[in-house]
A and B are shown apart, each in its own frame.
Chain A
Amino acid sequence: MMKFKTRLEWKPEYSVGDASVDFEHEELIGQIDVLYGQLCGNVKAATVEAVLGEIHAGISAHFALEERLMLKAGYTEYGAHKDDHEDLLDQIHDLMDNYLKDPVGGRKMLRDRLTDWFGHHFASFDARLHKKLG
């Protein structure tokens, strides 16, 4: 199984077979990568918060689109995939809150967990979706 220990990077083999989903995956990976870079550097907490907010909005919209496509395609694993989406949304809220409460300590935790947070879902659930849509 694919494991994202370091920075995320979009590769053509990640394609799930739908141009819009692939486009958003690429965008999100780009955003997460930017944030990861910021967390390694020395940027203001407000900047990190703003990027997190955009990732939160982007990922919410992306999940909504992906769920619509799964429903239209009659994807049998929709339920489990959807549950993972909801878990991920809960997690990103926690990540955001933790960071806001303690920007210095939260920065490291965010850096450690950010790629895993999305990477696991990407490598497991979205990879299975690829077989249906691709």
Chain B
Amino acid sequence: MNPLRHLGSLTIFFFWIVLISGIWLFIFFHTSVNGAYESVEYLTHEQWYLGGVMRSLHRYASDAAIVTLVLHILKEFFFDRYRNARWFSWMTGVPLLWMVIPLGITGYWLVWDQLALYVALISSELLDALPIFTDPMARNFLSEESLSDRFFTLMAFVHLIGLPIFLVFGIWIHVFRINRPNINPPRAVMTAALLSMLVLSLVYPALSQGKADPAVVPDSLALDWYYLLVYPLMNSWPPGMVWALLVGFSLLLCVAPWLPPGHEPAVAKVDLDNCNGCERCVEDCPFGAVMMAPRSDDKKYATEAVVSQALCLSCGICVGACPTATPFRTRTVLSPGIDLPDQTVALMQQAIRDASRNLEGDRRLLVFSCDGSNKLARLNDRETAVVKLACMAQLPPAFIDYILNRGFADGVVLAGCANGDCQYRLGARWTEQRINRVRDPQLRNRVDDETLALLWTAPWSDFPHETAAVAAFRNTLSAADDQPVQSASPKVRGPLFRFTIGAVAWSMFAISAGIFSAWPYFSQLEPGNAIVSLTLSHAGQRLRECRKLTQEELDKLPPNMRKPTDCPRERHPVKLSFSSDGTIRYQQTLPPSGLWNDGESTVYHRIELPAGTHEFFIGMVDSGRTQGFDYQGRSEVRLQKGQHVVVEFDRLRKEFVFR
């Protein structure tokens, strides 16, 4: 029950934990500026035994989902399972990332503690860099007065309904092309995952970081690095560069399936002379690449198998399922109903004959290896011959019967990738079921199970492990009936040992999920500094004054267009200059917004200054004048360490305010 073999489904399982715990949290959550923080505090402290645990589960399962998600991506990438027909699942996974991360971010936003305020400001700064909003969104979070309860309702909708719906839909699309997708991990893995998160929640409960106060910048924040990894970049990078990084990385992921080195093997081919439309290939194809279509020849069958070029990964599992892929046919060249053009069963049969020809002794072994267990070629010796297949399930069980009963070998080892590590997903599962005679085509009863061994390996397992297992199996072939038969598999440890290893592994997993959800701490400011935010939304004066039209001019116009005044829409840009102690800290010309340059000029800008007394000056020109300022403000401000001072323009009083 290795969780590394169930990373995708484990991510979905964590999502279910997040969803269920989130429903409980929402029952008690107040969607208001003043109620949000308090309601979460109530859940955390007053109702710690349930609400607090649910909150911690909600957070840690979200973090664990990111861990398994990233491991899932890395595993698929390094095992080269993202190219050719797999491009669809790979590419549709990228938008899922773009849904999961905002889902976590909006969750932190809702708590409305100091971290939430930081998340709100940085997220807004990121969004403000996009040409979407006229007015900087970040300005809404500079004071509590500018924030309304409506905002929390909107955020709750996005977090609780909007994004989750898109996410579920996205997951459906992600697995859409996969036949029999593993949506749920094995029960033991689910139990271990839930228990580990539960223990973490009890030992290290998730806590808020003080109620959001726009006037204060905390010394340090316990940042959730799984979701907020790029946020600290905003301290030193311009938002455009952060966007370039995020979008660039996403695009790179999207085009990865087509980047070199690529290899596109020939897809499976149907031979209608040997296909009666039994659908076994359709049933076994892990990628839904084989479909049934109306018969195209004159045979009296209703349907025939058709292979989709776009979906087939040339794994050969369909060949292993075909009832006509039997080596007992000798009349012509062996040609089953479906076959791989590059690795035909005829070639497989020839390879078996060639490989067995030089074997010596009475314990001759034929070992079948697959794409993922390539290293087994080193097993070749006088008594052992290795035959390579695309996938273990490419081998029709009739071949095992053929090898053993026609004397090509004394034992057969099927050494492929274990379930969960199989390059083609279902190869190990189908092989085991066929060998155990519970899936068609079944291994014939007359095959002595003692002459057959299954050796499931992991791509990273060491070669001596397989060598020892094959040697152990060889010994069983010569063991007398009354001698205890050795297992071909490596020695399996006792349940206590396995439980201990599992407990340690899951503890490590939970600890890593917990640690990086709040550590290392992040400081927005250099020690002893404060922040000054310049914020403004002001329309420059019109480029030209309105002019009253003469009667003569009016008469020339059509009756419906006779407006008495002509007011040009364009406005002057606004020039803004801010200095501290005589040093200019900010100086920009802010263009008017709008397609016709007739909107307001806006700015939101953060400046970090050392604590202490400072002489601030701010001047603004909105008339196009070149000398002096139309509006100016001056103030001596005593900045406290970690203080957040906002400098803004009061529209009604037409003056600058320092607060």
Task: Contacts A61-B276, A62-B276 given; indicate if A90 touches B445 (C-beta within 8 A).
Answer: yes
The range of chain B's interface size is: 20 to 34
Residue B301, interface by CB 8 Å: yes
Residues 49-79 of A, flagged 1 when their CB comes within 8 A of B and 0 if not, give 1111110111011111101100000000000
Q: Is the CB of B444 within 8 A of A93?
A: yes
Q: Is the CB of A56 within 8 A of B329?
A: yes
* CB nearest neighbor in B for A51: B331
Q: Is the CB of B278 within 8 A of A65?
A: yes
Q: Is the CB of B323 within 8 A of A19?
A: no
Q: Is the CB of A53 within 8 A of B444?
A: no
Q: Tell me the complex Cα distance, A89–B441, Å.
A: 11
Q: Is the CB of A23 within 8 A of B299?
A: yes
Residues 386-405 of B, flagged 1 when their CB comes within 8 A of A and 0 if not, give 00000000000010010001
Residues of A within 8 A of B570 (CB): none
Residue A127, interface by CB 8 Å: no
Residues of B within 8 A of A24 (CB): 276
Q: Tell me the complex Cα distance, A98–B326, Å.
A: 18
Task: Contacts A19-B302, A23-B299, A49-B330 given; indicate if A64 touches B446 (C-beta within 8 A).
Answer: no
The range of chain A's interface size is: 20 to 34
Q: Is the CB of B446 within 8 A of A60?
A: no
Interface centre among A20, A51, A61, A65 (most CB of B within 10 A): A61
Residues of B within 8 A of A58 (CB): 324
* CB nearest neighbor in A for B331: A50
Which residue of A46, A64, A96 contacts B328 across the interface (Cβ within 8 Å)?
A: A96
Residues of A within 8 A of B302 (CB): 19-20
Q: Tell me the complex Cα distance, A89–B323, Å.
A: 11
Main SS at interface, chain A:
helix
Residues of A within 8 A of B331 (CB): 50-51, 53-54
Residues of B within 8 A of A86 (CB): 442, 445
Residues of B within 8 A of A62 (CB): 276
Residue B300, interface by CB 8 Å: yes
Q: Is the CB of A60 within 8 A of B279?
A: no
Residue B440, interface by CB 8 Å: yes
Q: Is the CB of A60 within 8 A of B441?
A: yes
Residue B218, interface by CB 8 Å: no
Q: Is the CB of B446 within 8 A of A53?
A: no
Main SS at interface, chain B:
loop
Q: Give residues 71-117 of A contacting B (CB, 8 Å).
A: 86, 89-90, 93-94, 96-97
Q: Tell me the complex Cα distance, A52–B329, Å.
A: 8
Nearest Cβ on chain A to B463's Cβ, whole angstroms: 36
Q: Tell me the complex Cα distance, A62–B444, Å.
A: 17
* CB nearest neighbor in B for A97: B405
Residues of B within 8 A of A50 (CB): 329-331
Nearest Cβ on chain A to B472's Cβ, whole angstroms: 29
* CB nearest neighbor in A for B328: A53
Interface centre among A68, A94, A96 (most CB of B within 10 A): A68
Residues 318-333 of B, flagged 1 when their CB comes within 8 A of A and 0 if not, give 0000011010111100
* CB nearest neighbor in A for B402: A93
Q: Give residues 267-288 of B contacting A (CB, 8 Å).
A: 274, 276-280
Interface centre among A22, A46, A57, A58 (most CB of B within 10 A): A57
Q: Is the CB of A60 within 8 A of B323?
A: yes
Q: Is the CB of A65 within 8 A of B442?
A: no
Which residue of A46, A64, A90, A93 contacts B441 across the interface (Cβ within 8 Å)?
A: A64
Residues of B within 8 A of A19 (CB): 300, 302
Residue B337, interface by CB 8 Å: yes
Q: Tell me the complex Cα distance, A20–B405, Å.
A: 33
Task: Contacts A61-B337, A64-B441, A90-B445 given; indicate if A56 touches B328 (C-beta within 8 A).
Answer: yes
Q: Tell me the complex Cα distance, A57–B274, Å.
A: 9
Residues 333-375 of B, flagged 1 when their CB comes within 8 A of A and 0 if not, give 0000100000000000000000000000000000000000000
Task: Contacts A23-B299, A49-B330, A61-B323 given; indicate if A93 touches B446 (C-beta within 8 A).
Answer: yes
Q: Tell me the complex Cα distance, A19–B300, Å.
A: 6
Q: Is the CB of A63 within 8 A of B300?
A: no
Residues 431-452 of B, flagged 1 when their CB comes within 8 A of A and 0 if not, give 0000000001110111000000
Q: Is the CB of B276 within 8 A of A53?
A: no
Interface centre among B328, B337, B398 (most CB of A within 10 A): B328
Q: Is the CB of B278 within 8 A of A64?
A: yes
Nearest Cβ on chain A to B597's Cβ, whole angstroms: 69
Nearest Cβ on chain B to A94's Cβ, whole angstroms: 7
Residues of B within 8 A of A94 (CB): 446
Q: Tell me the complex Cα distance, A62–B446, Å.
A: 21
Residues of B within 8 A of A46 (CB): 330
Residues of A within 8 A of B405 (CB): 93, 97
Nearest Cβ on chain A to B345's Cβ, whole angstroms: 11
Nearest Cβ on chain B to A51's Cβ, whole angstroms: 7
Q: Is the CB of A23 within 8 A of B444?
A: no
* CB nearest neighbor in B for A94: B446
* CB nearest neighbor in A for B280: A64
Residues of B within 8 A of A89 (CB): 444
* CB nearest neighbor in A for B440: A64
Nearest Cβ on chain A to B521's Cβ, whole angstroms: 61
Residues of A within 8 A of B442 (CB): 86
Q: Give residues 2-55 of A contacting B (CB, 8 Å).
A: 19-20, 22-24, 46, 49-54
Task: Contacts A64-B323, A64-B440, A90-B445 given; indicate if A57 touches B328 (C-beta within 8 A).
Answer: yes
Q: Tell me the complex Cα distance, A56–B337, Å.
A: 14
Residues of B within 8 A of A49 (CB): 330
Q: Tell me the complex Cα distance, A49–B398, Å.
A: 16
Residues 119-153 of B, flagged 1 when their CB comes within 8 A of A and 0 if not, give 00000000000000000000000000000000000
Interface centre among B323, B326, B329, B442 (most CB of A within 10 A): B323
Which residue of A22, A57, A64, A93 contacts B401 across the interface (Cβ within 8 Å)?
A: A93
Which residue of A57, A63, A68, A97 contacts B326 across the interface (Cβ within 8 Å)?
A: A57
Residues of A within 8 A of B337 (CB): 61
Q: Is the CB of A61 within 8 A of B274?
A: yes
Q: Give residues 505-541 of B contacting A (CB, 8 Å).
A: none
Residues of A within 8 A of B440 (CB): 64, 67
Residues of B within 8 A of A56 (CB): 326, 328-329
Q: Tell me the complex Cα distance, A63–B251, Å.
A: 50
Nearest Cβ on chain B to A55's Cβ, whole angstroms: 10
Residues of A within 8 A of B323 (CB): 57, 60-61, 63-64
**Shortest beta-carbon contacts, A-B, top 5:** A64-B278, A23-B300, A60-B323, A50-B331, A53-B329
> Can you give 14 A-B contacts (C-beta < 8 A)?
A20-B300, A23-B300, A52-B328, A53-B330, A53-B331, A56-B329, A58-B324, A60-B323, A61-B276, A67-B440, A90-B444, A93-B328, A93-B405, A93-B446
Other than the given A68-B278, A96-B328, 13 more pairs (CB < 8 A) read A20-B277, A23-B300, A51-B331, A54-B329, A56-B329, A57-B274, A57-B329, A62-B276, A67-B278, A86-B445, A93-B328, A93-B405, A93-B444
